[in-house]
Each structure stands twice: as structure tokens, then as C-alpha cells.
Structure 1
Amino acid sequence: MPLHEIFVGLGVFVASVVFVREARRRGALNEQSLVAVTGALVGGAIGMRLAGWLETLDLKDLWLYGSRSILGGLTGAYVGVLVAKKIIGYRERTGDLFAPAVALGMAVGRIGCHLTEAPGRPTDLPWGVHAPATTPECPGCMAGQAMHPSFIYEIIFQLAAFAVLMWARRRLTQPGELFTLYLAGYAAFRFLVEFTRANETLWLGLTGPQWFLTAGLPLLALRLAYGWRRGYYDPLFPRKVMT
């Protein structure tokens, strides 16, 4: 089994363990929540491979390149959960159960990306890394250039996000807000880190993931503003009372 797939599998396993522990802590470990997990896994797998295939538009590459699209996987997992819950008539929100699990699972999965994919764009920064000349789709690797360790950046972000989510989970009482904060944070981070990634730019110097996020970020900002106005985040960011 390729090294990348091994770490993706480990990431899914770690995420599943965190999900079960969090669901048990919240008293939400039941058949319905497990169906939601199944929906997330199936939807995530389909989303990753479908989004990756759209980058090549070659049917024979559907399996080969599909696993590279994390944004497609997250979108597919979200849709998969919604569909699974709709089928069984489950109305409880499950996003807060998934948030810490996804963050830690992504951190583990990105280790495989760092070990097998083009690290990032060339850089003169002292922490630039070199990858083997045999790394696929990496001209800089063949030239021996130092490159941004973009996947290391993401591993650090996901570990920090996991720590923050574990701290915030007992403080936020409004259902769904933990998941909203994670999505907004990751979307903003991913847009910025794309400037160091080796992904091909499409238009105006932006990559495919950045154009995808261009539509999502304003919606997430509006959602955060909605929660802020209603005081959902006061337990984390107390407002100063004017006297």
C-alpha cells in the first residue's frame, strides 16, 4: 500500500477514535451518530476522488488523483452526513462532534502528503526543504530547489486547531458553533497557505482551491458575524461592557 494511503488510513482511524470519545462524553454515542460517521466516510471518499478527477478530467485517473483533494473530501463528508441524517430522520447537530476529530485526523493524514508529494513553491527561507527528484509533478525537486514545507505548515495548524477546539468545547454551549469556528479558521488558513503550495495557478495568481474558497469565505464570515451578534462566542471572547 502506498505511503500516502497508509497515513490517510491512520488519519481516518485517529479521527474515528476522537469522534467516539467525544460522542461518549456528550452522551451522543448511538446508532444515529454512527450512521452520520458512515455518511461522512462515504461522502468524504467520493468527494476527494471526484474533486481530484475534475482536475484531470480523465476517467482513468479517477482513482489515482482523487485522494489529493482535501477540500473535496471535506465537502463530500459534509454532504454525506446531511444525506445520512436525512435518510434516518436524525435531527440532532453532529458538527461539534466532528470538529476535533477532523482536525487531528487531518494532521496525521498530511504527514503522508509531506512524505510523498511536492512540498510547495521554491523559497529562500531557512526552513525550506528538499524533496527527492523522483517526487511526482515537482520540477523544483528535480532542480534541487528548497521549497516551502507547506504540508508541515498545515500539520502545525491542525494540531493547534485541535488543541483550541478541545479547550473551547466545554465553553461553547450553542450547538454547531465549534464546527463553524473550525471551518472558518481552516478556510482562511487554507486560502493563505495556498500561496506556498505547489498547486497550479488558474487565474489572477490564484489556485483552484483558492477560487473554491473565494465563494465560501464570505459566507463563513457572515455566519461568524451572525453568531457574534447573538453572543454565541462570548464564553471565548468576552465583550467589554461600556460604562
Structure 2
Amino acid sequence: MVPTLGHLGPVPINTHDVLVGVGVLVAAVVFLLEVRRRRVTDERVWIVVAGALVGGALLGRLGTWAQHLDLRQNASFVEHWLYGNRSILSGLVGAYLGALVAKRLTGYRLPTGDLFAPAVALGMAVGRIGCLLTELPGTPTGLPWGVTLTPAEAAALRPAYGADAVAGVPLHPSFAYEIVFQLLIFGVLWWLRDRLPVPGELFKLYLVGYAAFRFAVEFARGNEVVFAGLTRPQLFLLACAPLLAWHVVRQARRGVYRGLWRDRRGAEVAA
């Protein structure tokens, strides 16, 4: 565990915040490269980016507010904004909605998902390093790569994670699993970026892939189980992911994904 990278005078440099910031910077560089490569010259695209950032920040923070069905048991919005958890899943939804609102306000009609998808995947891979170094790794495991907390590390995590933060027991490095996934899907998206005939489809494929992965990895994450053996992120995914899955199925039936296995000359490649 590396909660801080050092101190700037008396102020500690938070590892998680720094690496999330680096992840955002990496995503911005990839996005800019794609904007230049695709020769996007309409300056309204930057308003769409701003909308995505604002929407992601707002819903990423406030999307975890409703912890209890009895709303009186939840913290106030101000308390939750200052001290509450942040959610990648609700942040992605907020970014998507923020981009849609910005497009509607500016009249920008062109799809932007192809610009965002590789950038988000690589940025997430970097940002998750901060989670790996500062948060509870996951559930107990007998696998040889399990991460074992020291008594001091477990004590530091216990106020946030309670009895799940145990010392001397190998735990799933669930964030390492996600880092590997994000790097792999970044490679896939990079390969697909010029092969999909429908603009904007790339980001939807990323969301479907991440939703499936995240639902599975939750069993190793150690988040609180709240209903039917499932965590809040899993329940959220059960509510939202079927819409994405149906979109992909419908597009597949329309033949959108045919011809992906082509070489650069346009000839079919045997799968």
C-alpha cells in the first residue's frame, strides 16, 4: 500500500489523486491524437468534451448517494460530495449524458464515441493503478498472486472497509485484473477504430465489454453485498447493461460488424 507519494511541505501528496490525474492526462493525449488523426476541425467538439467531464464528475460523485432505500439514512448532498465514495460506473454514465447534453445545446451532430473510447480505456488503466496502491485489494483467495496486507495496512483500511480489511490473508488484486482488462480492450479498440462502418459504435462496444467484465470482477472486489449475493455495482449493471447488450445484438443483426476481419486491402481474413 502506498497512500502517499510524499509531502509538499506539510501537505501529503495523495497517490490515488495523482494517478487519477495522470490517467486523465493520458486520456486527453489519446483523445487529441484521435481528433488530429480523424481531422476533426469543428471547435464544438471541445464543448462536448467539457460536457462529458462535467457530467462524469457530477454523477461520479453523486451517483453513489442513494445507499439506502430510506432516503433519511443517506448523507446530505453536501456531506456526500465532500466525503462520499466515487463511482466509475456512474461517472461513465454521467460523462455519456453530459456529452449528449452538450451536443444538444451546441447542435453538434457528429458521433464522438470513436474519439472517446480508446482514450477512456487507457486513462482508466492508469487511474486504476492509484486504486491498486491505496484501496482494499479484494476478497480472500488461494491463488499464488494474492496480495497480503500487513497489520498496519489493514488497520489503515479498516475505518473504510471494516472487517473486510484483514491482515495476513491473501486477497485478490482486483484492481490489477482491471488494469490488465483496460490495457487489453484498449488494444482491441485501437485495432477496431478504422474497421467499424458505423461512426460512434466504438464507445458502445467498450461499455458493453466493461460492463460484462465489471459484473464478473465484482465477485473478487470485496464491495458490500446488498441483495441476492450481489453488490450495488452489480445491481446497477443489471439495470443498465441489458440496454447496451440489446443495442449490440440489434447492430449485429443489421450486419454492422460484418467485415471486421479484413486486411488493409479489404480482403476477408479467415477467422
Q: TM-score range by the shorter chain?
A: over 0.9
* Number of the residue aligned with 1:78: 96
Within the candidate set 80, 83, 96, 1:61 is matched to 80
* Number of the residue aligned with 2:146: 128
Shift of 1:154: 0.4
In the alignment, the residues of structure 2 paired with residue 63 and residue 53 of structure 1 have an alpha-carbon distance, to the nearest angstrom, of: 11
In the alignment, the residues of structure 2 paired with residue 24 and residue 164 of structure 1 have an alpha-carbon distance, to the nearest angstrom, of: 20
Superposed CA deviations along residues 48-87 of structure 1, whole A, max 9, x for unmatched, are 1102333382132322234x31001101111110111111
Q: Which amino acid aligns with 2:127?
A: G
Aligned residues, how many? 238
* Number of the residue aligned with 1:22: 34
Structure with higher helix content: 1
In the alignment, the residues of structure 1 paired with residue 175 and residue 231 of structure 2 have an alpha-carbon distance, to the nearest angstrom, of: 16
Shift of 1:180: 1.5
Superposed CA deviations along residues 86-143 of structure 1, whole A, max 9, x for unmatched, are 1111111111110000000100110111111111111111111123222241534343
> Which of these two proteins has the greater Rg computed from alpha carbons?
2
Change (3 A) 1:237 1:218: farther
Give yes or no for the alignment of 1:171 onto 2:203. no
Give yes or no for the alignment of 1:184 onto 2:196. no
Q: Which amino acid aligns with 1:215?
A: A
Q: TM-score, normalised by structure 2?
A: 0.83
Alignment of 1:83-162 (within 5 A): 83-131=101-149, 132-133=153-154, 134-135=156-157, 136-137=160-161, 139-162=163-186
Cα-Cα RMSD: 1.7
Within the candidate set 16, 34, 45, 1:4 is matched to 16
Q: Which amino acid aligns with 2:193?
A: R
Shift of 1:227: 0.9
Q: Which amino acid aligns with 2:32?
A: V
Q: State the SS of the aligned residue for 1:231.
A: coil
In the alignment, the residues of structure 1 paired with residue 192 and residue 248 of structure 2 have an alpha-carbon distance, to the nearest angstrom, of: 16
* Number of the residue aligned with 1:34: 46
In the alignment, the residues of structure 1 paired with residue 231 and residue 167 of structure 2 have an alpha-carbon distance, to the nearest angstrom, of: 23
In the alignment, the residues of structure 1 paired with residue 240 and residue 109 of structure 2 have an alpha-carbon distance, to the nearest angstrom, of: 24
In the alignment, the residues of structure 2 paired with residue 237 and residue 212 of structure 1 have an alpha-carbon distance, to the nearest angstrom, of: 34
In the alignment, the residues of structure 2 paired with residue 9 and residue 55 of structure 1 have an alpha-carbon distance, to the nearest angstrom, of: 27
Question: What percentage of aligned pairs have identical amino acids?
Answer: 56
Q: Which amino acid aligns with 2:105?
A: I
Gaps of 5+ in 1: none
In the alignment, the residues of structure 1 paired with residue 83 and residue 134 of structure 2 have an alpha-carbon distance, to the nearest angstrom, of: 14
Q: State the SS of the aligned residue for 1:227.
A: helix
Shift of 1:13: 0.9
* Number of the residue aligned with 2:255: 231
Shift of 1:237: 5.3
Contact 2:20/2:130 (CA < 8 Å) preserved in 1?
Answer: yes
Which moved further from structure 2: 138-147 or 12-21? 138-147
Shift of 1:43: 0.7
Shift of 1:29: 4.3
Contact 1:119/1:147 (CA < 8 Å) preserved in 2?
Answer: yes
Shift of 1:30: 3.2
